[in-house]
């Protein structure tokens, strides 16, 4: 076999997801894409903000000599300064540019961070429901994912469950707020409790556990709820994030990691992560993208438009009897599956031309995910299909 057993095993395990997408593609071909309501992808259909195009124009009209060359593997100082300044506004200790590394998206930042901290056999706690790529990213670097459920009613942190999962091998914990797939935001009080748990662990055995806070949806929050700065609650913490969602630039692969300046061995961590950014073959984040986002740290896509979509779907589906937590952020809903078997439910939804992702794809069987980062008109047109689905299931 030409490919490694590990990769073969991973693609086999994910084959049911591929089959589901293939079925979606088949339905689009048979009935026309306009008659299929695709809620499967977290790939925003909104365009980037107007300021993004101004920056693009400006760069094209005033190119700097050397702007396409290699650079410091951590990225342009100017961009890192802009990011450090933005985070410092809500951080207890200001960040300098040296605490920031520009990366190829949040996915790049996660891989760089994990490569930097994991020894073979180290465990990384992930919280179900979770972004499934975490498992692959952890395994990329010789680590073992350890799944711990959040509270099944609220999807908030279950500190006792996290404590029970900590072993001498635990190296890191990944948290994601606002969350994909639940849309939940962890309040400052929960993060404080997590911080206290990690301090207790450190004081007892000397074991330091790094919190990797994955925050690509941090600017997408509703009802005046804001995402607390993790550095207020936890010293040994790294923010990993991107502009894939807040500026709708997922194809441009631009993100960063930022380390808490008070973290133990922070300079060593940054040196290691800069090395990992280079040797994973990223070398540096795309030069053009770095220049573009430097001046867009306070910009985002239209959040009110997302809130409108959340409200519409939440009200309509709750009215039909679907049970779900009302999300405070991101652009997903994660209702309970009306059928015990969530994969079976998603197949039933396909009969009504609704494409959804089963909770099993997020380590959470018994639920399903709706990604509402699609045009409002598609959501509106999908409502009769939701009603038919509910009727079909006797809801």
> Would you tell me which residues interact with ligand PLP (CB under 6 A)?
42, 105-107, 131, 176, 180, 214, 216, 242, 244, 250, 255
Asked if 59 and 291 touch (Cβ cutoff 8 Å), the reply is: yes
- Nearest-5° Cα angle at 152, 149 to 158: 50
- Least distance in angstroms from the C-beta of 244 to ligand PLP: 4
Return the number of the residue (216 or 363) whose C-beta is nearest ligand PLP: 216
- Could you give the 3-state DSSP secondary structure of residue 214? strand
The torsion angles phi and psi of 333, rounded to 5 degrees, stand at -115, 145
Return the number of the residue (230 or 390) whose C-beta is nearest ligand PLP: 230
3-state secondary structure 295-361: CCCCCCCCHHHHHHHHHHHHHHHHHCCCCCCCCCECCEECCECCCCCHHHHHHHHHHCCEECEEHHH
Return the number of the residue (104 or 162) whose C-beta is nearest ligand PLP: 104
Q: What tokens does 120 get? A: 């073979």
Return the number of the residue (179 or 229) whose C-beta is nearest ligand PLP: 179
Asked if 131 and 216 touch (Cβ cutoff 8 Å), the reply is: no
- Could you give the 3-state DSSP secondary structure of residue 374? coil
Q: What tokens does 332 get? A: 């997903």
- Which of these, 321, 376, 339, lies nearest to 37 by C-alpha position? 376
- Least distance in angstroms from the C-beta of 203 to ligand PLP: 31
- Least distance in angstroms from the C-beta of 214 to ligand PLP: 5
- Give the span between the Cα atoms of 40 and 37, in whole angstroms: 9
- Give the span between the Cα atoms of 326 and 355, in whole angstroms: 21
Return the number of the residue (27 or 237) whose C-beta is nearest ligand PLP: 237
Return the number of the residue (82 or 390) whose C-beta is nearest ligand PLP: 82
- Least distance in angstroms from the C-beta of 367 to ligand PLP: 16
Return the number of the residue (126 or 389) whose C-beta is nearest ligand PLP: 126
Q: What tokens does 323 get? A: 């049970």
- Least distance in angstroms from the C-beta of 89 to ligand PLP: 22
- Which of these, 183, 290, 287, 293, lies nearest to 248 by C-alpha position? 293
- Least distance in angstroms from the C-beta of 113 to ligand PLP: 12
- Least distance in angstroms from the C-beta of 351 to ligand PLP: 27
Q: What tokens does 122 get? A: 């180290």
Return the number of the residue (88 or 176) whose C-beta is nearest ligand PLP: 176
- Least distance in angstroms from the C-beta of 330 to ligand PLP: 8
């Amino acid at each position: 076999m030409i490919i490694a057993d590990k990769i073969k095993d991973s693609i086999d395990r994910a084959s049911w997801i591929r089959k589901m997408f293939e079925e979606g593609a088949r339905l689009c071909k048979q009935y026309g894409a306009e008659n299929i309501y695709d809620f499967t992808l977290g790939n925003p259909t909104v365009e980037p903000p107007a300021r993004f195009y101004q920056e693009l124009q400006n760069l094209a009209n005033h190119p700097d000599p050397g702007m396409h060359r290699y650079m410091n593997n951590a990225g342009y100082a100017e961009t890192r300064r802009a990011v450090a300044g933005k985070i410092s506004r809500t951080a207890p200790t200001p960040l300098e540019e040296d605490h920031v590394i520009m990366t190829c998206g949040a996915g790049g930042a996660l891989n760089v961070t994990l490569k930097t901290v994991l020894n073979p056999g180290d465990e990384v706690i992930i919280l179900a429901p979770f972004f499934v790529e975490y498992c692959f990213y952890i395994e990329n670097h010789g680590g073992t994912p350890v799944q711990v459920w959040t509270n099944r009613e609220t999807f908030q942190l279950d500190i006792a469950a996290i404590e029970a999962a900590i072993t001498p091998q635990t190296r890191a914990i990944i948290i994601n707020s606002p969350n994909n797939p639940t849309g939940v935001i962890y309040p400052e009080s929960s993060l404080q409790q997590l911080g206290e748990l990690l301090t207790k662990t450190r004081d007892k055995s000397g074991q330091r556990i790094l919190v990797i806070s994955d925050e690509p949806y941090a600017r997408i929050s509703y009802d005046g709820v804001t995402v607390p700065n993790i550095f207020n609650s936890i010293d040994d913490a790294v923010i990993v994030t991107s502009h894939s969602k807040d500026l709708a630039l997922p194809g441009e692969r631009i993100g960063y990691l930022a380390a808490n300046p008070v973290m133990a061995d922070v300079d060593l961590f940054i040196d290691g992560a800069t090395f990992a950014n280079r040797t994973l073959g990223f070398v540096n984040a795309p030069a053009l993208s770095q220049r573009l986002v430097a001046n867009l740290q306070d910009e985002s896509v239209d959040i009110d438009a997302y809130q409108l979509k959340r409200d519409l779907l939440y009200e309509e589906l709750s009215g039909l009897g679907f049970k779900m937590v009302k999300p405070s952020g991101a652009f997903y809903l994660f209702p309970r599956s009306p059928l015990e078997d969530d994969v079976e439910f998603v197949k039933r939804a396909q009969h009504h031309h609704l494409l959804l992702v089963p909770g099993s794809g997020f380590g959470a069987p018994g639920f399903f995910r709706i990604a509402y980062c699609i045009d409002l008109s598609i959501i509106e047109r999908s409502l009769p299909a939701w009603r038919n689905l509910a009727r079909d299931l006797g809801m």
